Homo-oligomer: A and B are copies of this chain.
Amino acid sequence: MDQSVEIICVGNELLIGKTLNTNAQWLAKRITTLGLTTRRVTVVDDDIDEISRGIKDAIQRNTGFLITTGGLGPTFDDKTLEGLAKALGRRIEINEEALKMVKEKYLSYAQEGRIDVAELTPPRVKMAKLPEGATPLFNPVGTAPAVVVEHESVTIIALPGVPSEMKSIFDMSVASVLKQAACGVTFFETSIEATKVVESEIAPLIDKVMHNNPYVYIKSHPKGAERVSRIEFHLSTTAKDSSTARKRVSRALLQLSELIQEKGGKIKPVKS
């Protein structure tokens, strides 16, 4: 199985800049920590054709997993499952297991006095309409179930957009599946910061250290208002076990620090 992941975030609020896409960062970090690679993040509008096109494109790029966020709720603009069904060429239908989940949620809301009637109105039933062959995942925080569907060699997981719901379903039902697909690969990262150097002087040193440490990825991030003032170096690797990953990064870190200091740079821990 391909271990790469793509993320598609659905929501007009992201495309008008109303909302900062913290979901994508949270997911990307968790995916990386679990040993998989996020290849691409795409943000699309609440539009069936846009969602469908985004999903089709990701499937064509042969991603192993595709995780979507947003668009599972009861309102007219929650269109992710319709877009997904369209992308997969499947019908959308009431899933009995999902309907049971939704029904029980509203029964409990009515018992708690938060709503008057637990009746399954069309907007409530909408949350149980899944593409044919899909499986609902229980939402411990909110109402709309998440959805898993296998298509060709891709596992597609549709999560809600509300961060607390997205995170709890991911941790409860998705993380273990990704971890298994990673086959024990672990990720390790560290950062240092240098002052009194400019990025253009450090560029050849990074090349040298990366050449000597082919499994370590080193990225420089200029910080502050001036490109020359402060540079963060982020070193990361993935390896079959955490001890190897840690050793690789430590070795590269030592070499890079020495070369920066030879150039007159000052090394500091990273201010977070």
Contact = CB atoms under 8 A, between A and B. Distances in A.
B24 A43 contact: yes
User: What is the oligomeric copy number?
Assistant: 2
In this complex, the member of A21, A26, A29, A236 whose beta carbon has the largest number of chain B beta carbons within 10 angstroms is A21
Given A40-B44, A41-B43, A227-B162, A200 B74 contact: yes
A46 B141 CA distance: 36
B29 A203 contact: no
Secondary structure call for the A interface = mixed
Contact of A219 (B12, B122, B210, B217): B12
A202 interface: yes
A19 B15 CA distance: 19
A127 B198 CA distance: 14
A219 B77 contact: yes
Interface string A148-174: 000000000000001011000000000
Given A165-B227, A222-B142, A74 B16 contact: no
Interface of A: 12-22, 24-32, 37-46, 50, 54, 57, 73-77, 106, 109, 114-115, 121-124, 126-127, 141-144, 162, 164-165, 187, 189, 198-204, 206-207, 210, 217, 219-222, 224-228, 234, 236
- 5 nearest A-B residue pairs (beta carbon): A17-B29, A17-B28, A123-B203, A142-B227, A41-B43
